[in-house]
Structure 1
């Protein structure tokens, strides 16, 4: 087995682990905010240890980058909280599909960050996503938990798109592991003021089982995949990574069906296919456009 094949296997393992994070919204008997805080503690320690063992400096280049890392971390904190909240209100299947509107949201927001013009294909992709989301929503009312979950999931996707665009513009000169380590380090202190009493009380809400689940979420399902990404990208193109990453909702839905006994409706599955199809198209189109830009500038 050559290096490329090993990297591809690592990449699929990474995406499976990231898809598996959705399960913890149902497995851990805590609020979305408490889960996010509990996830960030071990993830932060693991990633900083990984950066140190990799021989990379733990320091950032200048004071401005610490300010940028703080801003990105704050956005990530709200993104993670809304990510788990979306699935707690609705289901893993609905929440993770709503989240994966972010590739199309990113394309729609790019003109505000970079000198990129929208084309008619982007508008079509956005309309396809809207149809997909409409199929998932059972009732146009926030009193319906599934509808509320979809709204929160799309808001989480919006935050993730904003974070990715800002990261690409101001923070991409750091490795993925180091960048995530600093952003997660911001999540810990900013959420501790809002953590509920359940998190610190040793009772039915928070016991050894819950603590082990949070440790598993923070290390194996959060820090490890972000470390594997850096390894995978050494031998794979960014386009390959992006396309495989689009399989995350598939893995998440499959895990939810077999491990949580969820039964997604046919509307949810069809809506999910539309959303993911748009995500895959925008991924391919974005890389094609970047390649053209490089050719024009060379």
Structure 2
């Protein structure tokens, strides 16, 4: 199969897994920092083991790459913590939708990283996604935690967009598993200074949730993302991944009994339409 098409299929599957990560912000009774720390330990061990079992090298090619890996890891640490915090402040729906302003941010800043022109189709896709996200966001007041959740979520979106663009430009020559292994290692070390005693007092069920989060919903999908970015532009990933809020909302309905309104469904349709357009457009460009 053509590597671009294979990356697109992997990306769509990855979005489903990532959509489920939002639920852990509610079902794990720990702070966003503690959840991220536990998540990074499990993911780091699994990813390094995967690289070793596949016969890959664990060391990086240049000293400069270690510094780049540290920078990417710091961006991911801040992104993951703010991602869970946004949903804990508000709700899964609001937190995820605020986060998914990152496709718009990516489309607008990618030309500065890639040396390409910003075309009107990119702007139009970004506007459609932004409108859909704004439509899903419920009415908020600056006096409640929902607004705080949106602000934190948008901050997380900026961090995520920067990480994706930097990864593609400076770190995409490494396998997805190795790249994420080093980034989760950095997350583990930097967050070890901020964890709380509650992490060590957690129940066995909580630890089971952390293992699930760190393996099937972190190590696997993020390795797939990093691999996909070797063949796809960060903008393509961002817009295709816009289906993640819809998956998250559906899972929140089924698992957490959240009750989205009609704006959620209409907005979800808009973001999915933009994601599908970007996928089809990418396939056409690579056929030329």
Q: How many Å apart are 1:55 and its aligned residue?
A: 0.3
How many Å separate the matches in 1 of 2:51 and 2:29? 32
Residue 145 of structure 1 corresponds to 145
Displacement after TM superposition at 1:135 (Å): 2.6
Query: Is 1:63 matched with 2:63?
Result: yes
Aligned to 2:255: 259
Note the residue ranges of structure 1 that are not aligned, 5 or more in a row.
1-5
CA distance in 2, matches of 1:285, 1:44: 35
User: Contact between 2:103 and 2:126, CA under 8 Å: does it hold in 1?
Assistant: no
CA shift at 1:144, angstroms?
A: 2.8
Distance in 2 separating the partners of 1:253 and 1:140: 18
Measure how far apart 1:121 and its partner are: 2.9
TM-score normalised over the length of structure 2: 0.84
Aligned to 1:248: 244
Q: 1:20 to 1:53 in 2, by over 3 A?
A: same
Alpha-carbon offset, residue 39 of structure 1: 0.5
State whether residues 26 and 88 of structure 1, in contact with CA within 8 Å, keep that contact through their aligned partners in structure 2. Answer: yes
Residue 208 of structure 2 corresponds to: 212
> In structure 1, what is the equivalent of residue 81 of structure 2?
81
Instruction: Measure how far apart 1:118 and its partner are.
Output: 1.8
Residue pair 1:100, 1:279 contacting (<8 A) in 2 also: no
Could you say if the C-alpha distance between residues 130 and 142 of structure 1 is closer, same or farther in structure 2, counting changes exceeding 3 Å?
A: farther
Aligned residue for 2:22, secondary structure, equals helix
Measure how far apart 1:264 and its partner are: 1.1
Structure-1 separation of matches of 2:154 and 2:277: 19
User: Which consecutive unaligned segments of at least 5 residues does structure 2 have?
Assistant: 1-5
In the alignment, the residues of structure 1 paired with residue 166 and residue 98 of structure 2 have an alpha-carbon distance, to the nearest angstrom, of: 21
Q: Distance in 2 between matches of 1:111 and 1:43?
A: 32
Looking at structure 1, the residues matched to 253 and 137 of structure 2 have their Cα atoms a distance apart, in angstroms, of 19
Q: Give the direction of change, closer, same or farther, for the CA distance of 1:11–1:164 in structure 2 (3 Å limit).
A: closer
Q: Does 1:36 align with 2:36?
A: yes
Q: What is aligned with 1:16?
A: 16
Structure 1 CA distance for aligned equivalents of residues 226 and 152 of structure 2: 30
Determine the structure 2 residue equivalent to 1:3.
none
- Tell me which residue corresponds to 2:53: 53
Match of 2:178 in 1: 178
Change (3 A) 1:283 1:102: farther
Q: How does 1:88-99 map to 2 (within 5 A)?
A: 88-99=88-99
Residue in 1 aligned with 2:187?
Answer: 187
CA RMSD of aligned residues (A): 3.0
TM-score normalised by the chain length of structure 1: 0.82
CA contact (8 A) 1:101 1:275 kept: no
Q: Work out the number of aligned pairs and report it.
A: 279
1:167 equivalenced with 2:158 (yes/no): no
After TM superposition, give the deviation of residue 140 of structure 1 in Å: 5.5
